[in-house]
Structure 1
Amino acid sequence: MPLFELGFPELGEGLHEGRISKWLVQPGDTIQEDDAIAEVENDKSLVELPSPVSGKVVEIKVGDGITCVVGDIIVSIEVADDVQLDGAEGGNKSSTPPANAHTPAIQSSASASVSEPEAVPEKSAAVDVLAMPVVRRYAREQGVNIASVHGTGNNGKVTTADIDGFMKRQAAALTQLSNSVSTHRTPSSTIAQARGEESEERVALPMIRQAIARTVVKSKYTAPHVTLMDEIDVTELVKLRKEVKPVAEARGVKISYLPFIVKALIVALRYRPQLNSSFDEAKQELVLKHYYHIGIMTDTDRGLLVPVVKHADKKNMWDIAQEINVLAARGRSGKLSLGEMKGSTISITNIGSVGGMFFTPIINYPEVAILGVGRITEKPVFRDGEFAVGQMMSLSLSFDHRIIDGALGQQFINDIKRLLEYPYLLLLDV
């Protein structure tokens, strides 16, 4: 039966590599076209990889946690004789099952219909170890001396499964040793523990975390940041939200303060369009955006993601609230698409949700400003000639000082303050 060898696909424009986070199938499994076969992590998100064909999984070429580039062969699938594979994206068709090893090859295109020649398994110069390059790389990444691993493949070839089995046996042995030491600890070992044994653990940085690191470094050292901080008396906003919550719930919408802030932000941007822009350094031009795509910084287990509410100025409060909730949920579950995280013109980051107040948010480059929202606290305020208890929200605005001066930044904050202190004005401005 013919064999289909799936090459690692391009997951998005300009994304030439990704990491196999987890295989969802095993050798011997029967799958259908479009079945999810693996979870793949790239710089932007965690996505499910669908199979382009139906058939039986013969061999998984790349283990969990391995980074692949576009074209690397990652899985072999046996298909029916009458299946047409020429148009199957990312795969090679072979008329016979694979020989001992089919090297993951970098293809000139993610869509190829002719198999690459098979490569001879790499042999270690130090010891007689047969292993494919991807297996050797996997061993290095896992900190395993491949010469210590018994190969179970043809001719004693070491596979990724052998590496995994070796690590499991090592872990089991260490656990057994640890239990033995705990049970039969000698006085000297007790003293050593009391003195404090220093231990370290190395954890591979997820690709998304690496991308975040590159982005914030570029932003911080490209755009000279200035941060202004202020407080807003949002007593009326708190009342308004309380009043509309039953209406929102009747619509099936959970409404937070963010939709009001988004609306106020859009009105303020219309007054101060310089903050809804990006800076083209090569041409030394300010690119003013006449549309309003609001990025919402979202904290997830995999890092800070920025889903975007597109054309927020054309949406009502309920639509914005619902979209924020849906995008945040998709972000936390790793289901955001690349399109849902592209194109923001200005961003909001809300540290108040975890109890923070004032901070210095880093601009989501190449945007020129970011609004930081802190928690709401009760404070004494002087209002109408007497002291009262006010609901005070803290704001932090960071901006690119090449484009925005301090006076303009403060005027922008003042616009937002006016709208959130008297939220009914939003009904007049939007």
Structure 2
Amino acid sequence: MRTYRSNLPDIMADLSDRQKYGAQRFVRNLWQARWLLAATFVALFAVQWFAELPVVVMPAAVAALLLVAGIAGGATDEDGERKAGAEAGGLQSLSAENLAAAVTDPLIVFDDSASVIHANAAALAAFGDLRPGMSLQLKFRAPEMQALIDAALTGNGSQSADFIDKLPVERVYRVTASAVGHGSRLHVLLFKDQSEARRIDRMRADFIANASHEMRTPLASIAGFIETLRGPARNDPAAREQFLQIMQNQTGRMARLIDDMLSLSRLEMKPYLKPGTEVDLRQVIESVVDSLAPLARENGLVIERDFADGPLLVPGDRDELHQVFENLLENACKYGQDGERVVVSIARSDKAPQPGIEVTVRDFGPGIAEEHIPRVTERFYRIDSETVQSRKGTGLGLAIVKHILTRHHGRLSIRSELGKGAAFTVHLPAN
């Protein structure tokens, strides 16, 4: 052993680098497995003692253990190094341009002079011309973008700001500027589109404001009548009966408003309708006509049918489609009673791009002015007319119709002329 130790430096010097590394790794593996080897030696001595094995078995067993530990450890190290080398090689083979192309958000790389080095496809699609060498400060003139680029160039770390691009359509972005690595003198702008989130937030705020307004009116009316009944009209039976009837109507209106808001909220949370279930529109509309016949008679109307022959099948949800045609026919009965009749027709359509079935509910009442037609499907939108305001409605019926048809990949078209009624046509795909 003393001779081996004294000659170890000379022996190591004669070895190649790979042999040196293998020897060092072998020794390291033995050192890491010292406790396991010690336990194994004890076990072997115990086996020899009790089993009375020949003494020559011990050196052979020890040599085998040393060899197995070194080989196993070497294989493990070799596998780990091979894996790490493959991963490093794979990352090094990726170019910055390929990485930028894999980012779905607009991304622009620029240098210390604020000149464009590279823009990915998303940035070109969003902002147009971004050729290399172009000045970012001339491309983005908004004060918030100028401040963001200046902060990035002065090395103040990662910075963020909101940027509104108004052309060709208004888009809202959350822009982050940061340095690329250390000492590269390159910087990156990443644009995160927030337009849809802002639109949803605005819709939510408008919805709450409109709902609060619609609820406040009947509540104020009820509170006023209660105060009157407890005061001046306390002993007036006729006034009491009249006020109680108005209060009942107002509570009914609030109940309908709450039901419509809940229905609309449930529809907005549902995904698009999955194909597979077929609905016979003839049966659905017959059921709707029968259920609204009393309302039509009350308003002095006759509901006429004009249905195509044969089965009228479309993919869809029966209950939701029933709600669509119930809303449309109920509106026709409420707002078209001056025309004395309502016509419900079903026809097949072979128009491009997809054949389908068209259901039209037409009334012959006062009609809708042209400027109101694009907005009648908005939530709480109601035409400012004494005739319309006098009808019982929440302003959510057509919004519900629009959402259901969107889930069914359908659409609603409206034709109207003042004094000649209105026609609401539902277009549904046949397959």
- Normalising by structure 2, what TM-score? 0.24
Computing the radius of gyration from Cα coordinates, the structure with the larger value is 2
Q: Which has the higher strand share?
A: 1
- Give the structure, 1 or 2, with the largest relative contact order (CA under 8 Å, sep 6 or more): 1
Q: TM-score, normalised by structure 1?
A: 0.24
- Which of the pair is proportionally richer in helix? 2
